[in-house]
Structure formats: structure tokens, C-alpha cells
Amino acid sequence: MTKSRIASSVQETKKERAMNTFIKTRRDFLKSAIGGMYFGASLAAAGPLGKVLAASPAGPASKMKFGLVTYLWGRDWDLPTLIASCEKTGVLGVELRTEHAHKVESNLSAEQRSQVKKRFADSPVTLVGLGTNFAFHHTDPAKLRSDIEGAKQYIKLSNDVGGSGVKVKPNDLPKGVSPEKTVEQIGKSLNELGRFGADYGQAIRLEVHGSCSPLPIIKAIMDVANHPNVGVCWNCNSQDFEGEGLEYNFNLVKDKFSDIVHVRELNIGDYPYQELMNLFVAMDYAGWILLEARTNPDDRVKALAEQRHVWEDMVAKAQSSGTGQRSAPGVKITEQEKTLRVEINGELFTEYCFKDVPRPYFYPVIGPTGVPIIRHWPMKEGKDEEKDHVHHRSLWFTHGDINGQDFWGEGEKSGKIVHDKFLKVASGPDAGIIQSQNKYVARDGKVICTDTRTHRFHNRPDGQIMDFEITIHASEGKVVIGDTKEGSMAIRLAPTMQLKGKVGKGHILNSEGQRDGQTWGKRAQWCDYYGPVENQIVGVAIFDHPQNPKHPTWWHVRDYGLFAANPFGVHDFEGKPKGTGDITIPAGESLTFKYRFYFHKGDTNQAKVAEHYREYATGK
């Protein structure tokens, strides 16, 4: 996030406070990166909760659940009264705010913690987690460390009493300290808590709060706080409407949502809760909508039941309306601050990352079972992932020798591929298109060449298909693409899909019948890499188009998950003299390569990879 955007958000926050339009304080949650790793298992709508949702008038079954934050309506209810009130109203989830009458605090003994856990286990009410006021903006290192350690104590407490996470705050931007420094400090603190919480099965939920409430600031924090166990708790603040408005700000942090959302009374005030529910229904949100009430009704139990019914009506309306349903069938591409978001039939497929990066790449890449199939690092921390080859960024195209310059690595001597402009961005019922223009900038700042890339995303019932076409232009003079294995059309796969490693159970098969380790450096029309991801077999096949230079290509496909088509590296692959694989593009001319990615369920035969390649090769 740029300094100007942070500064602008700070100024807008001050203006908004003066306006005082609203009562102010202050998530598929990562269906891609997290895939249920930390949040999902404890939040399934089963038992009594499932019955309540099934009986509600909210239309088709929603994955969302309605619950209560003990502020303010439950702050003076002891634990038995709180559980009884929630059960009576059908509000079957609760976040316990600290320092309330329930007295669930970090000073409880082991026996007392067991009793709390048993109370919830014996009732239909889910203890969603604990709400704390720990914050990480402090300029005093001792105070910062105190709040981090305090949060860790409540992480342990939540684990002991049967909760699934702890809510914390960012919280402010201290005067005299650059916002960027504070943002980085908050993000690093959250990463520490994310790692700690993961060991206890506890999610870290960052409430959008305080001077950090503008969503661009929250996004900047989450760009630093990239541990998959850290998510955003949307908080329904007036700052949600700043800049380009609610939907834009929602989309800024949509993929960072935790499994809880805070709302105020849904039928009081000016906040457009119906519009918000439309957005949550459209993204198929699967977490808790927690009521953080601010009024003082005479009968809080009756009022709580009323709020549940209001919420159910909103969800039903969102499900039945055009704006609240999943996106219309097709491919939708939406521009965000640093990425283009690609959705297929309302579900995230990938994002095209083009700004402030060493080269454009796609991340995450969601497979056909709805979970990521790529390695997350270095963009985020990922479970069981090796931190090697920092330049292996999800899915990308580049090469290790262009006019002697390295565009494959990310070292001090490496060049960069810099996004210039978009030529076309189009959504559609059958396909979506991103066409861009890029510059290859050497380490000394000189532009070596340019390219035009066309990415086509297909809406198909038989698997996810992405076509990648790149034309390299010798726009600055002759271009020699050198003979090296370090390239070119590549993807780095999830650790469970690898051939080797402590969790690797994958396999490789190419069009010539060669398998696993035999496939490296061999020529083939296509290659398929498959294995288990969250106990389901999925695969990625890359097709080399018959019109490509040197077809069929060689394959730089490794047992640790690197999977690349490389038509240049003949010296490395076949042991021929260095330079044998060079391709020269005369000045003013160009060269085009075409590839297809086929993301499929099952192994090579089950996915009919060979049939799909024939379809691609013949242009059908």
C-alpha cells in the first residue's frame, strides 16, 4: 500500500469521525489458502444448529450462522443465563467479550476451564471464541510485548474452554510514527499470534477497528500478516463506505475474511445491512454473523430472537434476488488495487497479480475441488511447505536467459518483468479474457524486449481450463532466448502433490507414457502432474500447442512440485553443446507460444487428459 493511500485513509477517517453518521467502533473464510485447515472443522452446522437453519425462512440452506457477542446485551448475563437465553432464541453461537459477567477469563483454573467447556458441550450453543482488546500499534515495546503475550494467554484459554479463535484489534496509527511502520508492526505481531494460535487450533480474528478501520489500511496490514491462521473480522463501520464504496472495500479484504463478522442491530440505523448480506451470500460465506448490539431494549431475549428473524429474512431475500445470488453463470473478472480477480460461476479461480511484483503471476489458483493446488510460499505461509526457490510464485511465465539477463530468479542480478498496461479485460458467459502488455527490464534499467499476453479462462463443466498465449516482441533490438533449464511456462504445486517430501504422494505422466522421475528433461506433447489435496485426487495438465516452436517441448518437471514447459533448455536436458537450444528473434519481429492448463479431478486417465489434449491440438 502506498504512503499516499494510507495518508488519504487517515484523513478520511478524521473527517468521518466528525460527521458521526453512524455509531462506530469498529470470513470459503479462506476457502483457497486455508481450505478449512484452521477454521472449518469446528464450524460445521450440525446438530441443533443445523435444525435451526433448516427451519428458518431463509430459503435455500445458508452456510452462514447467526450468533451473539456479549457486548452489550449479554454483558451482565452469567454463563448459565447466557446459554439459556441463546438456546431460547435459537441464536446458537456466542463470542464471549472479556470482562463481562460470564467471567471466562485467563485467571480460571484448569478445573474451571473444564467446567466452562462442559457447559457448552452439554448445550446446543457453540462457543465461537473470545473477544479481547489486545492491540499491536503501541510505540512502547514493553506494552506491545505485553499485549502479544496477553493474547497468547487467551488463545490458550479459548482452546481450554472449547472455543475456536480469539478476536484482537489493530488498533491505531500513533502520531509521529509513519503509518507504514505501524502497519508492518501490527502485521508481524499478527503473524506471531497466527503461528502460536495454529498450534492450539485457534484462529486469530482481526477486528476492523480504531484508526485502522479504513479497509485499505486493513488490507495493507493483511498483506504483511500473511499467516493463513489470521483473518479479518468485518465490523460494519462507517469507513466501509469511504473511497469507492462498500462493495469495493468489501472486495479489498474479501479473501482475507476470518470466520466471524460483527454486525449491529440489523433494523436500526443507516448501515445497508441488506446490501452487506447480498455480498456475503454471493460469495457463499460460511462463517458466523455475530450481533454486537448497542441499544438497551426492555426485553433483550425477545429482541435477540427478533434480530435472528430479521437476519434470516435478509438472507432469504439475498438468496432470492439477482444481487444476492451467486454471480450469473460465466467468468467474471474484477479489477482490484493490485490484482485482477477471476471468478468462474461465482467462485474464485485465481487472481492475476501485476503490481509491485518481480513479474506478473497468478495466485492463488483454486482447483476443481474448491481448494488451492499451488504452493502458497512466498506469498503466504503454507502448511508443510518447503521455503525453497523464492521465485516459484504459484503460476507464471518467464525465462532465465534473455539477452544474457536472468528473468527467472529474484536475486540482485535478476531483471524484472514489469506490467505496462491492459489491452483487454472482458468477462463473459463462456470465457473471460485478460490481455496485457509487459516490459522486460534488466537490472541496469534497460528494457530488453516486450511481450503481449492473452489469458483466456473457460467456463466448462468438465474441468477448469486456462489458455495462456504469449508473444515476445523484439521491440528494442534482437532478442536471444538462451539455452537454460531455468524456464519457462511454470507452476509450483501443493506439497501433497509432490513426488517427494514428508507429505508428497503425487505422480507425473506424460504423453509418451513416461512416469514420475523419468519425465524430467523429456519431450512430450503434454504432461500431467496429479496427487491428493485434502484427501481428494486432483491434477494439473499442461498442453504444448502443435504450432509452438520446437514442439513437442521439453519438460522441466521436478519431484518437489516445480512443473514447467521449457522449449529452450536442450543443453541441460539432453547434454548437447551450450547454445543448442537458443532461439533468436530478429529486431522488429516476434515469437508466439501457446499453452493450455487443464485443472482436473482424478488421475490422468480418469480426467481423460489425452482426449482433452486432442481437442486443444485440433482447435475444437
pTM value? Answer: 0.54
* pLDDT beyond 80 at 342: yes
Q: Does residue 13 have a pLDDT over 60?
A: no
Average pLDDT estimate for 474-500: 97
Tell me the pLDDT tens digit for each residue of 98-135.
999 999 999 999 999 999 999 999 999 999 999 999 99
Residue where a domain stops, chosen among 320, 347, 374: 320
pLDDT band at 44 (very low <50, low <70, confident <90, very high): very low
CA–CA dist 27, 289 (Å, integer):
9
Rounded to whole angstroms, the Cα distance separating 421 from 496 reads 36
Model confidence at 22, in pLDDT bands (50, 70, 90)?
very low
- Residue 326 is assigned to a structural domain of this protein: no
Q: Give 353's contacts (C-beta < 8 A, 6+ positions apart).
A: 338, 339, 360, 361, 362, 363, 393
Using omega within 30 degrees of 0 as the cis cutoff, is the peptide bond preceding 72 cis?
yes
Q: Could you tell me what percentage of the chain is helix, strand and coil, using 3-state DSSP and rounding each to the nearest 5?
A: 30, 30, 45
Q: What is the CATH number of the domain that holds 204?
A: 3.20.20.150
Of 338, 167, 186, 182, nearest to 252 by C-alpha is 338
Q: Is 203 in the same domain as 278?
A: yes
Convert the pLDDT of each residue in 288-333 to its tens digit: 999 999 999 999 999 999 999 999 999 998 887 654 444 567 999 9
The reply to whether 552 falls in a domain is yes
- Give the pLDDT score at 335: 87
pLDDT value at position 9?
55
Quickly state the pLDDT bin for 147 (edges 50, 70, 90). Answer: very high
* Percent share of the chain, pLDDT over 70: 89
pLDDT at 461: 83
Contacts of 315 (CB under 8 A, 6+ apart): 56, 58, 59, 62, 64, 277, 281
C-alpha cell at 192: 506471531
Q: Place 506 in a pLDDT band, splitting at 50, 70 and 90.
A: very high
Do 268 and 411 lie in one domain? The reply is no
Flag whether 327 is in a domain. no
Can you give the pLDDT at residue 61?
Answer: 57
Question: Which residue pairs from 503-508 have beta carbons closer than 8 angstroms and sit at least 24 positions apart in sequence?
Answer: 503/384, 504/531, 504/559, 504/560, 504/561, 505/531, 505/532, 506/530, 506/531, 506/532, 506/561, 507/531, 507/603, 508/557
Q: Residue 37 pLDDT more than 70?
A: no
The residue among 274, 289, 320 that closes a domain is 320
Closest C-alpha to 457, from 334, 610, 305, 336: 334
Residues 314 and 364 occupy one common structural domain? no
* Strand 590-601 to 464-473 pairing: antiparallel
Q: What CATH number is given to the structural domain containing 455?
A: 2.70.98
Does 68 reside within a domain? yes
* Residue 102 counted as domain residue: yes
pLDDT attached to residue 39? 30
Residue type, 519: T
Query: pLDDT at position 12, please?
Result: 43
Determine the structural domain holding residue 171 and report its residue range: 3-320
DSSP run (H or E) holding 156: helix 141-161
Higher pLDDT, 91 or 30: 91
DSSP annotation of 550 reads T
Alpha-carbon distance of 471 to 474, in angstroms, equals 10
* Residue 605 CA neighbour count, 13 Å, CB half: 1
Q: Are residues 300 and 175 both part of a single domain?
A: yes
Q: Are residue 447 and residue 576 in the same domain, yes or no?
A: yes
Which of 278, 297, 320 is a domain's end point? 320
Calpha distance 559→561 (Å, rounded): 6
Q: Which three cell numbers stand for residue 458?
A: 473457460
pLDDT of residue 29: 32
Averaged pLDDT, 349-353: 96
Q: Is 123 helix (H, G, I), strand (E, B) or coil?
A: coil
325 found inside a domain: no
Distance CA 301, CA 305 (A): 6
> What pLDDT, on a 0 to 100 scale, did the predictor assign at position 56?
35
Residue 193, pLDDT above cutoff 80: yes
User: Residue 334: beta bridge partners?
Assistant: 341
Domain check: are 189 and 216 in the same one? yes
Which has the minimum average pLDDT: 33-37, 434-438, 529-533, 581-585?
33-37
pLDDT band with cut points at 50, 70 and 90 for residue 597: very high
User: DSSP for 422-475?
Assistant: EEEEE-BSSEEEEEEEEEEE-TTS-EEEEEEEEEEEE--TT-EEEEEEEEEE-T
CB 339 within 8 A of CB 352: yes
Q: Note the pLDDT of residue 7.
A: 52
Please tell me the distance from the alpha carbon of residue 443 to that of residue 412, in angstroms, as a whole number: 8
In this structure, the answer to whether residues 503 and 586 fall within a common structural domain is yes
- Which cell is 532 given? 491428493
Residue 352 — pLDDT band, cuts 50, 70, 90?
very high
How many structural domains are present in the chain? Answer: 2
Task: Write down the mean pLDDT value for the chain.
Answer: 89
Residue 386 belongs to a domain: yes
Distance CA 599, CA 539 (A): 6
Q: Answer whether residue 30 shows pLDDT above 50.
A: no
Are residues 280 and 405 located together in one domain of the fold?
no
Q: What is the percent of the chain where pLDDT is above 90?
A: 81
What's the CA gap between 279 and 182, in Å, rounded? 30
Q: Is 393 in the same domain as 270?
A: no
pLDDT band at 378 (very low <50, low <70, confident <90, very high): very high
Q: Which has more pLDDT, 6 or 472?
A: 472
Lowest model confidence (mean pLDDT) among 14-23, 378-387, 551-560: 14-23
| Whether 26 contacts 208, CB under 8 Å | yes
CA-CA distance, 620 to 609, in Å (whole number)? 15
Contact (Cβ atoms closer than 8 angstroms) between residue 80 and residue 120: no
Distance, CA of 64 to CA of 128 (rounded, Å): 13
Instruction: Write down the pLDDT at residue 176.
Output: 95
Is residue 165 located within the same domain as residue 236? yes
Instruction: Find out whether 497 and 600 touch, Cβ atoms under 8 Å.
Output: no
Report yes or no on 243 lying in a domain.
Answer: yes
Question: Which three cell numbers, joined as nine digits, stand for 260?
Answer: 466471524
312 shares its domain with 340 = no
CA gap 33, 13 in Å, rounded: 31
Considering the domain architecture, whether residues 265 and 393 belong to the same structural domain is answered as no
